[in-house]
Amino acid sequence: MPLRKAFMNFSLLNILPYLGTLPFALGTFAKMSGSLPMIYFIDTRRIVLSYGVLIISFMAGVHWGQFLSGTRGKLNLLVTSNVIALVAWISGLLLLPTHVCYVLIVLFALLYAIDRGLEIPTAYLQTRRNVTLFVCTCLLALSFA
């Protein structure tokens, strides 16, 4: 019975964030190992960074849902979510890839900090912490690749 209960608690809510780290891990590995330097004339690092901008925008958009469902935090979620998404997008367009890595690290950490102030289940918050640390580590490694 305990095994079944543990399996039931390991839901899509926990699985999907970990699956979402695969492009960061695979792209970072590919760039660092030199095994896949170019894909369709696009630098592997740019692919990972554009995925990072997409994920940041998605996660920031989740804060709209939090706000609309009545969750109130110390920050105005509507404003912070827009600012975070725009900073990610603009940095992806205008900055050097190494600098985009650093901006995304800060934004992922900021999104996690905001989530900690919201009414989010502890189990999911632990998953978010683990995923955020892993993604930030990949981005930091990618900045040196």
**One digit per residue, pLDDT tens: the chain, 145 residues?**
454 454 445 678 788 999 999 999 999 998 888 765 555 566 889 999 999 999 999 999 998 888 888 776 667 888 999 999 999 999 999 999 999 999 999 999 999 999 998 888 888 899 999 999 999 999 999 999 8
134 and 24 Cβ atoms separated by less than 8 Å: yes
The token duo for 20 is: 């979402």
pTM of the model: 0.87
CA gap 135, 109 in Å, rounded: 10
56 and 111 Cβ atoms separated by less than 8 Å: yes
Full DSSP string of 26-44: HHHHHHHHTSS-EETTEEH
* Domain presence at residue 88: yes
Q: Tell me, what's the pLDDT at 80?
A: 92
* Domain presence at residue 54: yes
Q: Which residue has the tokens 């190494």?
A: 98
Q: Tell me, what's the pLDDT at 65?
A: 83
Identity of the residue numbered 96: L
- Cα angle 14-130-36, degrees, rounded to a multiple of 5: 95
* Domain presence at residue 33: no
Q: Tell me, what's the pLDDT at 11?
A: 79
* Domain presence at residue 5: no
- State which residues form the domain around 108: 42-144
Identity of the residue numbered 132: T
Nearest to 103 by CA among 132, 139, 141: 139
Q: Tell me, what's the pLDDT at 42?
A: 66
- Cα angle 89-94-98, degrees, rounded to a multiple of 5: 90
Counting the structural domains of the chain, the total is: 1
* Domain presence at residue 106: yes
* Domain presence at residue 20: no
The pair phi, psi for residue 43, each rounded to 5°, is -60, 135
Q: Tell me, what's the pLDDT at 7?
A: 47
